[in-house]
Chains A and B, each alone.
Chain A
Amino acid sequence: MDKNALSRRTFLQLFAAVSTSGFLAGCGGGAASSDSGTAADAAAGEDFTITFAQGADPRGLDPAYADDGESAQVWTQIYENLLQYADDSCEVVPGLADLPEVSDDGLTYTFKVKEGITFHDGTPFNADAARQSIARQLEPDRTEDMAYAGFTFGSEAEGNGIESIEAPDDTTLVIHMRAASTPFLANLAMCMASPIVAPTAFETAIETPVGTGPYKFVSWTKGDNIVLERNEDYWNPENAGKAKQIVFRFIAEAAPRVTALTNGEVDIINGIDEAVVGTVTDGGCVIDARDGMNINYMAFRTDQGVCADPAVRIALSKAINVPELVESLYGEYGTYANSIMPLWMAPYDEDVVQTQYDPEAAATELADLGVKSVKCITYSNPRPYNGKGGQVLAEAIQGYLTKAGVEMTIDTYDWTTYRTKIETETFDICFYGWSGDNGDPDNFMNLLSDANVSMNVARYDNPEYKKLISDGLQTPTGADRDEIYHQLEQINAAEQVWLPISHSQQLVGVRPEVTGYNLHPSSIVFLRGTTKA
């Protein structure tokens, strides 16, 4: 018994000692921010660290196999593309290659790749390395889980994209196309699929990426953080990384992410909406808001039900005061969408004429058309183009339609389920949105001609529209092409297939001492120029 009693006492003492020491160590730490990479370090001219917090782990770090924003946010600091976007727009500028020579028929692109560049593991970058990085995503080597390969590089079945790719010498890359495609160069600058991965890392890049960019991969602690370090041998001094290290932290919930910012644990956060703006600014930090490349819309189902009749769609649209709705739901961080494309992308759409709010006319016309109820499906989660979530938006519109004498039933699903329901359910109205990929107007407007109903949720099928989409694909950038997309916008407005609602701004929260990052319209925050004052 004595022996047992002694061991129990020892055991309890050990319990107490360990737990107390942990708590004392924890509470005695003083300031909450870590010792590494503080503003004071930067001010003193020492190397500093930038910590960026986002909502989730990357799915993977090989651009061929992942399509989520969290992955792209990390790998865009590591990889580079043959072509890239200008700092403040989606204009295509040289990257690892100069702008290509394009044959008169638009079918052959000849790139001159830059010399003297090496991947982070020392492998030389040349035309053949670029060829391999792209060729692995072409048919027949393409696998189903290469999410963006079809969109970026085309497919044989669709009769578009890359037919063949060759590297006749170290500095020349030649791409032969199946059909002329004006958006193709914008695709090559995209953060998905196109970043060039070292051929030595094809098998491992999903966990340990190797690129040519200003930052090198160091470590990935799953569910917690990724650490990058500055590439001291970076080829382009103008774009070299300023911070010695970049740390990505993954904090799922927005509120703790904001607290981590105001507590000095992280320097920049993304994935926030207007609900936390006050908390960020009250905590002494700054909100940076820039126009996003997105559209939040309501789609009418055009192939069946009451909304197959354009007159019904227009009458329903008249019942909804969209500017008022946007103002009340999204405040200053969402702008009323007079067109599908944001105006910064397509300034020529300023004069598109949408259906105007006219509740009396709506009520009369809907009564005449015999429309008393509509069925709506929507999503519950916040989306990049709709921070309030689809249900809140649907309920707001339900209020307008009730006033016009139409009962709207709402079925709400989580986003994953909703993606399936949108294909299988019967509905009259659904809520959806789009975040642009490449800044090209085709990327927005072709959704209404897509055969895939998960893209063309309205099931719109208009030969004239499709013809214009086809023309737009092959017309070189310029006034003629702008006119085509302007016509497409006007067709949608006239037939009211989609009711455009809003373009949301993208927000980041930033410590006041942090500057020099680039919040790009593509939603990526480029960190190479980030400094601490």
Chain B
Amino acid sequence: MLKYVAKRALQAIPVLLGLSVVVFLIMRVFSPDPAPVVLGEHATREAMDAWRDAYGLNDPIVMQYLDFLLGILHGDLGESYYTHTPVMTEIMARFPATVELSVVAILVASVCGITLGVVAAVNKNSFIDGFATALSLAGVSMPIFWLGVMLIILFAGVWHVLPSGGRIDPLMAPRGGTGLFLVDTLVQGDLKAFADAARHIVLPALALSMYSMAIICRMTRSSMLETLGEDYVRTARAKGLPQGKVTRRHALRNAMLPVTTVIGLQFGSLLGGAMLTETVFAWPGIGKYVVDCILKSDFPVVQGAVMLIGIIFVVINLVVDLIYARLDPRITYGKEEG
């Protein structure tokens, strides 16, 4: 398996290299010149030119790219044009918030999506199946931005039962730890802060999970339907096993294989793509930050964040493949694959 992991890691290199080229060119070619924004309205042409020189933006584009690559190899992603803080520091200050939101969202999406998908498949063409289909359709169709605003209006604006945004009351925020507030508050035994953090994550997690839940639900339903029609399921029923046991032990386990892949990919998307949700709910994660930096042409931050998201995708794909093999003993690595 180690050999397989090493092989996949090597395969990731050209992917990441390609990603670096694309993000670098997009930022340099299509983004506005950052100098007027960074230096403000009183900046002279000379000052802007000097600033571009200082940051190497007057160098040939190939040289700029090579500098960027060299920096990555040394673990140096540069510093933000605006805050003068190392990019890695800026990203890591926000990354735990995105991880926490994504984990909770994928948990909600998985539990609800799988449950609904299984129930819908077992009760095919029933009312519950129609409900699951309608909910899935709504989940896929509803823009997250709109859903987020609606949730805020209802739960915070009308009913006043949940906060409209943020991660936690700032005065209760745990100091130090992992940066995952739900974990840190529990570890520190501060249940009041834990409850506050949990209340803050409800709406963004709900909004963020809707799309993934819909996809997981549909995948689970179709996979379950396919599995429930297999011979071994019929055999299990013929042996007299209760329907519940047949569903859970024989059908669900095998139906989970494609669902696992979907969950993994959805998790990767959530980690890298919660931009709208984070913006609507003022969730201080990496997605919202990247959007802000794109608008401000903060090249080093955008490049660094996109590379990080790319690496996360590669790693999650790898993990999903490994889990896949764990769930299905027929799958092996290396030469035996063929």
Q: Contacts A18-B107, A25-B195, A65-B84 known; A259 to B164 CB distance under 8 Å?
A: yes
In the bound complex, residues from chain A placing their C-beta under 8 Å from that of B39 are 144-145, 147
Given A60-B82, A225-B170, A25-B198 contact (CB < 8 Å):
yes
Q: Contact string, A410-436, partner B, CB cutoff 8 A, digits 1/0?
A: 000010110110000000000000000
Report whether A29 and B162 are in contact in the complex, using a CB–CB cutoff of 8 Å. yes
Q: B68-114: which residues lie under 8 A (CB-CB) from chain A?
A: 82-85, 90, 93-94, 97, 104, 107-108, 110-111
**A28 CA / B198 CA spacing, docked (Å):** 10
Instruction: Chain B residues near A27: list those with CB within 8 A.
Output: 161-162, 199, 202
- Cβ of B282 within 8 Å of any chain A Cβ, yes or no, is yes
In the bound complex, residues from chain B placing their C-beta under 8 Å from that of A452 are 44-45
User: Given the known A-B contacts A26-B162, A260-B164, A454-B41, are A417 and B202 also in contact in the complex, defined by CB atoms under 8 Å?
Assistant: no
Q: Which of A1-40 contact B (CB under 8 A)?
A: 4-5, 8, 12, 15-16, 18-19, 21-23, 25-32, 34-37
From A247-255, A338-346, A397-405, A474-482, the one touching the partner chain is: A247-255
Report B301-314 CB contacts with A as 1/0, cut-off 8 Å.
Answer: 00000000000000
Complex Cα–Cα for A189 and B90 (A): 32
Is A308 among interface residues, defined by CB-CB distance under 8 A?
no
What class of interface size applies to chain A in its complex with B? 35 or more
Determine the distance from Cα of A245 to Cα of B170 in the docked complex, in whole angstroms. 11
What per-residue 1/0 map shows which CB atoms of A144-168 lie under 8 Å from chain B?
1101101100000000000000000
Q: Interface majority SS on B: helix, strand, loop or mixed?
A: helix
CB distance from A511 to the nearest CB of B (A): 13
Q: Within B149-186, which residues are at the interface with A (CB < 8 Å)? A: 149, 152-153, 156-157, 160-167, 169-173, 175, 182
Given contacts A26-B198, A256-B280, contact A419 B36 (CB under 8 A): yes
A30 to B289, CA, bound (A): 31
Contacts A22-B201, A417-B32; A32 near B93 (Cβ below 8 A): no
Q: Are the C-beta atoms of A265 and B90 separated by less than 8 Å?
A: no
Partner of A36, one of B85, B160, B169, B292: B169
B32 and A265 form a contact (CB under 8 A): no
A12 to B113, CA, bound (A): 12
B43: interface (CB < 8 Å): yes
Contact B108 A19 (CB under 8 A): yes
* A193 to B, closest residue via Cβ: B42
Q: From A5, which residue of chain B is reached at the shortest CB distance?
A: B249
A59 close to B (CB within 8 Å): yes
Contacts A28-B195, A452-B44, A452-B45 supplied; 19 other A-B pairs, CB < 8 Å: A5-B249, A21-B198, A22-B198, A25-B198, A26-B199, A29-B199, A34-B196, A37-B171, A144-B51, A147-B40, A221-B173, A222-B94, A249-B166, A249-B282, A256-B152, A259-B156, A259-B164, A262-B157, A416-B297
* 10 nearest A-B residue pairs (beta carbon): A223-B284, A26-B202, A224-B284, A147-B40, A25-B198, A34-B169, A67-B40, A144-B51, A225-B170, A251-B282
Task: Give the interface of B toward A (CB within 8 A).
Answer: 32-33, 36-45, 47-48, 50-51, 54, 82-85, 90, 93-94, 97, 104, 107-108, 110-111, 149, 152-153, 156-157, 160-167, 169-173, 175, 182, 192, 194-196, 198-202, 205, 249, 253, 279-282, 284-285, 288-289, 292, 295-297, 327
